[in-house]
A and B are shown apart, each in its own frame.
Chain A
Amino acid sequence: MVLAGGVFDVPIRKDLVHRVVRWQLAKRQQGTHSTKTISEVSGTGRKPWNQKGTGRARHGSLRGPQFRHGATMHGPKPRSHAIKLQKKVRRLGLKSELSARTAEGKLIVFENFDIATHKTKHIASCMSQMDDVKKVLLVDDDSINEKLKMATKNLHYVNVLPSIGLNLYDILRHDTLVMTKADVDKIVERMHTPINC
């Protein structure tokens, strides 16, 4: 089988890979952090004591940032941390990553993932037979084989993705990428569909 050079043999753009990872990590942030400003802190707005006369410092409210139980200045508010990234950059990042894995020899292509049994120890023994493999990403077709799903569920070093879920950060986290032949065709097709139709 010959892999498409336009997808699996492109020059590696490390800076683009960095940008894509930053984009992926930013957009998955929940952003549900919140603090109270002085208008939201519970408490009265009354001036605590006279401006002049008492020997104390002058204050207008007991809920300013210097006070205990007071407001937080410029604190976080719920917001989205997502950043925009050009679609062509995202695509080239994925291609760079696939090329890198291909060049190191860490890309394995199977005909299909028909395994005999759903037992975890079967997969675990296969993984121990493959040398120099610490974390494996299996990419199956859109409907993942049920037996494969069950067999790999409890192994923390094996992860399965449907073919549509192939993304750069997941490939980077795992050191070996295992795909099916149909999957490779799907990825090549995905990379070749024009971006603005």
Chain B
Amino acid sequence: MLKNFTKFISTNRSLRPLLPLHPPSPISVHNGILGFFGGSHGAGVVRMLAMGYSSLLNLNDLQDSPGRRKQKTRKGRGIGSGKGKTAGRGHKGQKARGTHKCGFEGGQTPLRRRLPKRGFTNQFSLTFQPIGLGKIAKLINAGKIDSSELITMKTLKDTGAVGKQIEDGVRLMGRGAEEIQWPIHLEVSRVTVRAKEAVEAAGGSVRKVHYNKLGLRALLKPEWFEKKRRLLPRPARPPPKIRDKVDSIGRLPAPTKPIPFAPEPEP
């Protein structure tokens, strides 16, 4: 016998004599979560049922969940398929024989030329990723965001609140605003009125900061600059048109302490 033989698991041996009393009922291992194996209770009962099969997982009875994989329609392969002979094209004509240009209406002015053009694309428009207060609250409850520190756009990206594509900044929105009950301090690009009210009612503060594209990259990915052996850029001032929409210039690298708003002047 092999030395140091210690068999730690030998449950089915003890249950074997009970097998003849129970007819081996087919255990329907549903394509989904087999709940009873998750817990220790009830495992004994299930193991007796499992004796009907040689093992729970066999190479010859593996199946994916029903509806998971759909077969594609192969056209022109016989009557039984329903798409044989004409293969869904009807009888004769240009459409059956060849391809015709998409949108061509036989010479009549096509729809896309009948309708007028409209507008222009503003090169300078900024797109901000929305993030609701409810999601931030959920992450704080889960322990992923530290509510005592300043929450910048970098923490929102790192913890997965916003996602990897942040175009020009983050806009704080009000969905789930009731869940914020503690003071939190945020530095984001834009805020909605209700979100700001909700945060300030809880005792926190929101500061709208300005970052240009390069500055945002330096905030979110400082390691990219290190890899290229570049210094972090100086944060840019907001251009005149945007000056009213922001409170202050963003700080680089990502700040940890909020700048308090100036106290109201004594009368």
Contacts and interface: CB of A to CB of B under 8 A. Distances in A.
Contacts, number: 100
13 contacts: A3-B8, A12-B56, A17-B62, A18-B63, A22-B64, A103-B50, A106-B55, A109-B7, A109-B8, A109-B9, A110-B5, A112-B4, A175-B54
Contacts of B45: none
Nearest to A129: B1
A195 interface: no
Contacts of A21: 59, 62
B7 A108 contact: yes
B43 interface: yes
Contacts of B94: none
A146 B126 CA distance: 66
B31 interface: yes
B106 interface: no
A17 B33 contact: no
Contacts of B58: 172
Contact of A9 (B29, B33, B38): B38
Interface residues of A, number: 39
A23 B58 CA distance: 17
A155 interface: no
Nearest to B66: A15
Interface in B13-50: 13, 29-35, 37-38, 40, 43, 46-47, 50
Nearest to B11: A105
B242 interface: no
Interface in A108-139: 108-116, 126, 129
Contact of B37 (A11, A108, A116, A129): A11
Interface stretch (A36-44, A53-61, A72-80, A93-101): A93-101
Contact of A99 (B31, B37, B46, B50): B37
Nearest to A108: B7
B51 to A, nearest CB: 9
Given A19-B64, A110-B5, A114-B3, 5 more contacts: A12-B29, A12-B57, A103-B43, A104-B55, A106-B55
Contact of B63 (A12, A14, A113): A14
Given A12-B57, A105-B13, A111 B4 contact: yes
A173 B62 contact: no
Contacts of B65: 15
Nearest to B47: A103
B196 to A, nearest CB: 34
A96 B33 contact: no
Contacts of A15: 31-32, 63-65, 68
A114 B3 CA distance: 7
A42 to B, nearest CB: 31
Given A12-B34, A126-B2, A172-B57, A18 B64 contact: yes
A14 B59 CA distance: 11
B30 to A, nearest CB: 8
A107 B57 contact: no
Contacts of A115: 2-3
